[in-house]
Structure 1
Amino acid sequence: MATEYIVFVHGVNTREEREVKTYADKLIERIDREIASHSSNITRKYIPLYWGDVNKPEEDKLLNKLKQSPTWKKMWFQEFREKQLMQFVGDAALYISRHVGSKVVIAIAEQLKKALPANPEPGDRMHLIAHSWGTVILFDVLFAARWDNPDLPTYESVRRIRQGIFGVKPEPLHGIRLSSIHTMGSPIAFFNLINVVSGEDQAKGERELTQEQAKKIATHDITPQLEALLEQLYNERGQKTLPWRNFIHPGDPVAYPLATIMPDLVDGKRQCLDIQDLLTSNADLSDFLVQSISRSFLALLHGGDAHGSYWESRDVVKAITQVILQEAAHPSTAVVST
């Protein structure tokens, strides 16, 4: 029987504490309950990937050096600087560094190796659910050319991650077929700024970069390999578009719309993608209380709660479950190579 593999990638907790290994438990429980209430014959496996402790030693070193400064104690918002801001900006800066980013890649690769089958069934499907900076990590690992150098110590780890998903180069016919993408509180719209050949450029006749060109002049550009994946899946799914749901809480300062951005980023393959921006809300009264000051700086104090709210959102549970049920009810046949 086919299995739905539901993979989670966490981001940065913008509140006071780091993400823990149980970060996805509530969302998993609610999705599982929702699926079970609609269908009893769907086999599913949940895979929450964890990288939250990889960057901590480097950030601790930086914080200790900052505290040695005689001006540190005179600075405002110390707790905010030490926790929320350092965690978010620090994780971003460290991941861009290939040295620390490699540790994240290795951690993810090892977990996927243990969780995914070596010989998947032809009907198996994968659903990717990523939050915050985790969306950037996910797309960078899967599609950026900066990991394609065989001399890198992480080359095999990246290759193993990409092998797990059908349609991803360098072995696009290997792995489990990707059936949906879900991004929560994602800043991935900024990838459009490093898209070397935009949709407007392509409309003027300029060609998209080849994989070899991307390796040389655009190592962070995800467009060439993302377009290749979309085309492979589109053909393999019988010209059925890939569902992508992008969840945005209105008070989340990290979340940005993607429905108007991604068509330009993957201009040549926009017909392969069904992407929707979906607004969410908190289950408690906090949104109602903040609504009256939503356009003021004070609303940013609510931003951390908004950014982490997706893991308990009824809106998220409902939308993700709907996509999984639709994909299970109308499967497309793919040949999976092992």
Structure 2
Amino acid sequence: MATDYVVFIHGVNTREEREVKTYADKLIEGIDREVASHLPSLARKYISLYWGDANKPEEDKLLKRLQQSPTWKKMWFRKFREQQLMQFVGDAALYISRHVGSKVVIAIAQQLREALPTHPAPGDRMHLVAHSWGTVILFDVLFAARWDNPDLPAYESVRKIRQGIFGVKPEPLHGIRLSSIHTMGSPIAFFNLINVVSGEEQAKQIATHDITPQLEALLEQLYQARGQKPLPWRNFIHPGDPVAYPLATIMPDLVDGKQQFLDIQDMVTSNADLSDFLVQLISNSFLAVLHGGDAHGSYWESRDVVKAITEVILRETHPLAA
């Protein structure tokens, strides 16, 4: 029997605490309950990848040095700097470094190796759900050329991850077929800036952080394998989330010039926790930034996200069930 694997990867928690290993539990409960109410016979497995402790030692060292400075005590918003800002910017900077980035990748590869079948069934499907900086990690691991160097500690781990997903090089005809992508509070739109190079520079080389050549190859491979059906991609945006950006007008220019490989939709989640009056009051004020951390983490408990992801899974599995 074919199985639907729903794989989650967290990002940075812009509230005070980091994500914990149970970060996706409420979203999983919502999706599973919704799936069971429509198609209880569907075989499904949920996999929550966790990398949140890989960067912490280096960030702790940096914070300790900062706190030793007599100037640090004079800074405004110290708690915000030490927690939310340090986590978001620190995780981004550390992951870009190949040393710490390798630790993240190796941890993810080990978890996938334990959770996914060695020999998947022909009809198995994979749905990727990525939050925040996790979307950057996901696409970087799958498609960036910077991991193609055999001398890197994470080289073998990256190769194993890519082998597990159908359509991803170096063995595009092996692995579980990707059936949908879901991004939540994603800053991946900024990858478009990597392509801003002159024609002369582009002719010489491709940036090692550029995800677009291999992502485009995957989408074309999937398009053919899916009977010329575009891949569903839902991008969730809370209006108060300062990290979330639209993708529907960005990705076609980046990887899908013919606009045929992707069915990508930006979906704005509701402000159920705020009255209309409060939304109007804070949306263009500094209060919106203060509320942004809560907005950035809201997707894990959002009814809108549960409904949209479930609809895609059901449609991909059994068109008449959605």
TM-score interval for Structure 1 and Structure 2 normalised by the shorter chain: over 0.9
Q: CA deviation at 1:309?
A: 0.3
Establish whether residue 39 from structure 1 lines up as the match of residue 39 from structure 2: yes
TM-score by length of 1: 0.91
Query: Residue 181 of structure 1 aligns with which residue?
Result: 181
After superposition, the C-alpha distances for 1:173-219 in whole angstroms (9 at most, x for unaligned) are 11000000000000000000002579xx8xxxx9x87xxx7xx5410
In structure 1, distance between residues paired with 2:258 and 2:115: 31
Cα distance per residue 1:13-49 (max 9 Å; x no partner) = 0000000000000000000000001111111000000
Which one of the candidate residues 310, 313, 321 is aligned to 2:299?
A: 310
Distance 1:174 1:87, change over 3 A: same
Aligned length: 319
Are residues 1:325 and 2:314 paired?
yes
SS at structure 2 position matched to 1:292: helix
Counterpart of 1:254 in structure 2 is 243
Q: Does residue 289 of the first structure (1) align with residue 278 of the second (2)? A: yes
**What is the match of residue 88 of structure 2?**
88
2:11 — aligned with what? 11
Q: Which amino acid aligns with 2:264?
A: I
Q: Distance in 2 between matches of 1:88 and 1:44?
A: 32
Q: Distance in 2 between matches of 1:287 and 1:229?
A: 42
Hey, what's the Cα distance between the residues in 2 that align with 1:170 and 1:195? 23
Equivalent position SS for 2:135: helix
Tell me which stretches of 4 or more aligned residues in structure 1 moved more than 4 Å.
Answer: none
Distance, in Å, in 2 between the alignment partners of 1:131 and 1:288 is 29
Which secondary structure state, in structure 2, belongs to the residue aligned with residue 270 of structure 1?
coil
Q: After TM superposition, give the deviation of residue 330 of structure 1 in Å.
A: 4.2
Corresponding residue of 2:214:
225
SS at match of 1:47: strand
Give how far 1:291 is off.
Answer: 3.1
Mark the CA change 1:154 to 1:287 in structure 2 (over 3 Å): closer, same or farther. Answer: farther
Rounded to whole Å, the distance in 1 between the matches of 2:164 and 2:81 is: 38
Alignment of 1:3-82 (within 5 A): 3-82=3-82
Deviation at 1:294, TM superposition (A): 0.6
Which residue of the partner structure matches residue 273 of structure 1? 262
Structure 1 residues 189-228: aligned runs within 5 Å:
189-195=189-195, 217-228=206-217
Unaligned runs of 5+ in 2: none
TM-superposed CA distance for 1:297, in Å, is 1.6
Identity %: 85
Pairing of 1:35-184 with structure 2 (within 5 A): 35-184=35-184
RMSD: 1.8
- Measured at CA, do residues 154 and 14 of structure 1 come closer, stay the same or move farther in structure 2, by a change above 3 Å? same
What TM-score does the superposition give when structure 2 sets the normalisation length? 0.95
